[in-house]
Chains A and B, each alone.
Chain A
């Protein structure tokens, strides 16, 4: 039952025994949990490797996360640096190479609570934007940590809108140097990770000015701290931007550059070059700058956002079979809260979403890898679809994962508010993803532009004979559509094809409506920019529906591939059904709007949805076990595998510094207060 890895206890006496309430949940096995774990990992070998890495990391007490919740920002940062240091040492010993799966699994094991994560963003950017010579020069320095790097794009006054960045890099042909400069207060680089206290070099995005002309954004390697004593170099003002909602482990920083000179070779030049005399050469599309953002977004979904929702589900669902509240039958003991319909309604759609996004991002990653090489070789045909998908799906996944994680937290009642539940930290972390790497609204609109373009193209090609095929993700815009949903009873809504079509219908209608609305406004005299702004709310709605359609379709396709695993296919199909139907119910207005669904059909959807809840209820614990998070990674008093919630909570709380370090406030303020009053009495 389960894997031995799960059973590694935290050394507490009570964890030798599994709480019978959770043990019973694991008794009925309608499917093979281990097999599902393998599917989630890609294959059984990956599971084995992951577990090996995790047990190495967790056997090192220096990598422990247990005291994290008690730390100040300063202590958290230091612990994260220490953890990074130990992982690097282990990696060196065992010969793990950078970008290897081992590193990814090590990162997963410590829940991303390590410093120097922007280091790899720099490397990615270097590999995408740097020439071969530049890669050969800088990558080894990075890999050996001879330099510590960060990626500095966002400024105090400018974020998602790249062209608005103010930092300048002016070429001086006399010395063959770039002069990098922050001309205003708002040009101060703000938010880059690892910049505040750690980095020695920054990849700075700046407006290139050469021979008097502005050439747009380019990336420059700028040394910022001494490699001798780590002090800031002349012309550099650098520091930490202060406390945040979460990410205490990361020293997000600010950077002001006062006419800092760097050699000409420090401009990354795979796609553009400045010759010694100041001539500007474009070697590729400007758009290519987006490539490093695409990479970052896809990795973000896979390594950060989706696992957080998965962990939140594990914690909340496990706790919900331990926690008892109110009686469902007068004579019974208090019921497990997971047996309350309202609790199922909160948690199971989140569980379904966690699975949906797992498969979605894993496929996106595959698509990315298959198109990446082509793009590096300057074949840009897939770039716009890749960019649109990574933008829109990043927005949707971070939105829904934030919402879902917070919902899981609230579903744990008061204890969800304690940091020892692990949930506040997950919430604080995942919610940041809604605004970093591109504000979600802006990203939805980027997706919307892609949709509008393809819709218009689909219209045009229908009229003419030239049949240019649409990118795969929007091919449905030209497919045959039904005006009304053919479902007659609740059970009909359990057909993946049927609800995928329903989502396609709604997405296509919303895309069409917003495109037409835009056209109408333009025809009535508004210029395109004004008309676009006046239709952005509609466009965002259309992009959301499209993303929803993509995720539903992807989930159903994943099911198709599981033909040889009927038991797993069945249990995942319920989640897929729930995911699609929950989406229909929360957006029922869109489905009713043009009469695609009738009122009676929406009622049938509701019936089908409610009937799924008790079916999923039976497998809920096993479905969370399958994610295979070790207790040390969950770092939660509520979510441990053995279910010994209350004992752990009590023991852990007693170790809080507020309990172990005396009470200076009593001596200073309470005692005088108590005594002054007594003197008066």
Chain B
């Protein structure tokens, strides 16, 4: 092992293993996760190609190969628990991108949610056995987040009892669905249902797209891959154009709405339950943000302990770059953020499961808040993580730009999270809608509960209008609880400003929608402040549950750093709201620098605790043993450009260039 890393690990103030247990939820979880990981690592069938040296088509091929073998392996190892499947796939697929995945993550669940019992009986067995591979086709070339705008039509023909699916315009071509380009032979297509000359809005249809046996597109179907992307090379995101393509009436998923053989439309009872899937996916994405950021921090911090650069004092050997204040200032707040998001992710998962049970018992009361919260937190954590991964990459200097660092891959595969499953700005505005509604309710005398209960305490809600005086100005910058209060005040203030500006615009504008648009910057700001408060609050509360003293100490420092760094970045809000004074902000900035020094000796142990295997990191810079440079050289030699000693373009172009001129 690299001497620097050895020293770092020996100097840590706590045992990272204990922290790993906290992150996994329990020592038992850690044990089982490692057991599954080792099953793969010790499996001779498990071959790990370096994807970086392959073309896109080759990467797709590798992913399909792995998808195929995975089905067998999971059966062999008896892995069926959803959590364990995720662990398994993560280590198996490295980039966690799997063309066949949509079959399991979208096709089957949609069938289960929206198909009748008869439909489930007909289709389910063949999809679970992968006789058919399905995908889910919703987004169109011209229409994304705003669902009602989708143009694909499904017109019922009572004579033949068929639906005619059609893509009437270029913008209506289905675009982006994963696994659609090359892999799937069926798709659940979302289309505007038209029967008896009337449009009834979006419904789901099972559409066969490729012939069983030959895999050729069926007549009337144009299907293909949408071409190269920033990342997700292994995924065949596809397009689908349907040209008056007929499917039997029974292929419409009819658990809720129905079309009778004569074309009569029967309305669904309620569709509130579809919230559930979205909430699940978004809360999963919060966890993904935490994991991606944790990986990036692991790589950047280990490398910063190995890399030596420049001088602090003349004549002394070059120090580890992790000893530079600027490097600590770049990385440690991100490390703190990674921990914060880990705990938020765990909280979201628990809450989802808890509320899911409530829903099972018919209690939907908490769903609106959870829906609003997951939307905002998905946006908040993915935006932050997006920028943070890039910051980690740049903190690795030039080598961060090479694929050997693994960081470009982490980045390009994470960044679509900002736009898919609901574009982030739209998500923030959904949260804002909930905040505005809550604000109005408090105004009309109702008390709010949950994360927005602070709105009950707004100065404008108090009997005596004493405005500024009610804000407590004494924030204890060493107390996570007191800082949580400060974030709460900031959120309350920005929610109130947005609400008042909105009211003001509503009076002056022709429609509510116009007023909403003209306040949307304020609204997004309010949502961000609300989400920031929630993250701070969850991190502080997590501290109370930590038993081990050494772990508690180190997590408390991270929590403080997370809170104070945010204050420093948003100092304007805290000053303008009278929540903190100028001298307090100066103290905050000073305290941040002290915390950097305090966290420094534990930095490597803190990333070790994330417990990523080298294969999962996919990084030469982030190797556990720290032997960076030797391996970097070995890695580069494998580059396709190095295959021949003299590249063929020399003979084709360079040589003629030299002689011609």
Contacts and interface: CB of A to CB of B under 8 A. Distances in A.
Interface string A62-80: 0000000110111001100
B225 A436 contact: no
A230 B646 CA distance: 6
A668 B61 contact: yes
Contacts of B390: 402, 406, 431
Interface stretch (A126-134, A210-218, A337-345): A337-345
Contacts of B408: 244-245, 428
A343 B518 CA distance: 11
A163 B126 CA distance: 66
Given A242-B636, A329-B513, A196 B641 contact: yes
B385 interface: no
A229 B647 CA distance: 11
B93 interface: no
B64 A670 contact: yes
B309 A164 contact: yes
Contacts, number: 378
B180 to A, nearest CB: 12
6 contacts: A243-B402, A341-B520, A534-B593, A536-B326, A658-B60, A674-B212
Interface stretch (B19-27, B336-344, B531-539, B625-633): B625-633
Contacts of A677: 129-131
Contact of A69 (B176, B228, B318, B326): B228
B229 A587 contact: no
B210 to A, nearest CB: 9
A72 B416 CA distance: 22
Nearest to A644: B170
B121 to A, nearest CB: 14
Contacts of B129: 677-678, 680-681
A436 B521 CA distance: 35
A334 B150 CA distance: 11
B415 interface: yes
Interface string A591-622: 11111000100110000001000000000000
A367 interface: no
Given A164-B309, A191-B398, A329-B510, 20 more contacts: A85-B656, A242-B639, A325-B143, A326-B149, A328-B513, A334-B149, A410-B418, A417-B230, A533-B312, A533-B324, A589-B572, A603-B576, A646-B141, A647-B170, A656-B225, A659-B225, A665-B65, A669-B67, A673-B71, A677-B130
B645 interface: yes
Given A196-B641, A323-B142, A243 B403 contact: yes
A245 B401 contact: yes
B419 A653 contact: no
Interface stretch (A418-426, A454-462, A550-558, A573-581): A418-426
B236 A537 contact: no
Nearest to A532: B312
Contacts of B636: 239-242, 254
B314 interface: yes
Rank and list the top 9 A-B pairs by shortest CB-CB distance, nearest first: A589-B571, A588-B572, A240-B641, A242-B639, A424-B230, A245-B408, A658-B225, A656-B227, A161-B310
Given A157-B308, A330-B511, A592-B572, A664 B61 contact: yes
Contacts of B635: 242
A72 B52 contact: no
Contacts of B655: 230
Contacts of B412: 245, 424
A666 B227 contact: no
Given A242-B52, A646-B141, A681 B126 contact: yes
B13 interface: no
A643 interface: no
B630 A185 contact: yes
B310 to A, nearest CB: 4
Given A334-B146, A527-B313, A435 B653 contact: no
A146 B658 contact: yes
Contacts of B228: 69-70, 418-420, 656
B652 interface: yes
A592 B510 CA distance: 36
A197 B649 contact: yes
A201 B360 CA distance: 73
Interface stretch (A41-49, A437-445, A472-480, A491-499): A437-445
A323 to B, nearest CB: 7
B640 A88 contact: no
Contacts of A417: 229-231, 415-416, 419
Interface in B610-661: 629-630, 632-633, 635-642, 645-650, 652-658, 660-661
A229 B646 CA distance: 8
B453 interface: no
Interface in A142-181: 144-146, 148, 154, 156-161, 163-164
A82 B652 contact: yes
Q: For this complex, into which size category does the number of interface residues on chain A fall?
A: 35 or more
A84 B185 CA distance: 44
Given A672-B68, A673-B71, A241 B639 contact: yes
A156 B411 CA distance: 23
Contacts of A82: 649, 652-653
B636 to A, nearest CB: 4
Given A78-B649, A156-B629, A198 B654 contact: yes
A196 to B, nearest CB: 6
B239 interface: yes
Interface of A: 69-70, 72-74, 77-78, 81-82, 84-85, 88-89, 92, 144-146, 148, 154, 156-161, 163-164, 185-186, 188, 190-191, 196-198, 227, 229-232, 239-246, 251, 254, 323-330, 334, 339-343, 345-346, 402, 406, 409-410, 413-414, 416-420, 424, 427-428, 431-432, 434-436, 439-442, 445, 527, 529-530, 533-537, 540, 585, 587-595, 599, 602-603, 610, 646-647, 649-650, 652-659, 661, 663-666, 668-674, 677-678, 680-681
A663 B227 contact: no
B582 interface: yes
A239 B582 contact: no
B553 interface: no
Contacts of A146: 658
A658 B661 contact: no
Nearest to B226: A653
B397 interface: yes
Given A592-B576, A670-B183, A92 B309 contact: no
Contacts of A89: 660
A185 B306 CA distance: 14
A146 to B, nearest CB: 6
B182 interface: yes
A529 B650 CA distance: 50
A635 to B, nearest CB: 13
B384 to A, nearest CB: 13
A346 B185 CA distance: 40
B239 A161 contact: no
B423 interface: yes
B59 to A, nearest CB: 10
Nearest to B65: A669
Contacts of B131: 674, 677-678, 681
Contact of B142 (A163, A646, A655, A664): A646
Nearest to B325: A536
Given A240-B641, A410-B419, A81 B314 contact: no
Contact of B55 (A69, A72, A594): A72
B53 to A, nearest CB: 7
B145 interface: yes
B513 A327 contact: yes
A230 B65 contact: no
Given A652-B227, A670-B183, A533 B403 contact: no
B122 to A, nearest CB: 13
Contacts of A673: 68, 71, 130
Contacts of B510: 329
Contacts of A69: 227-228
B152 interface: no
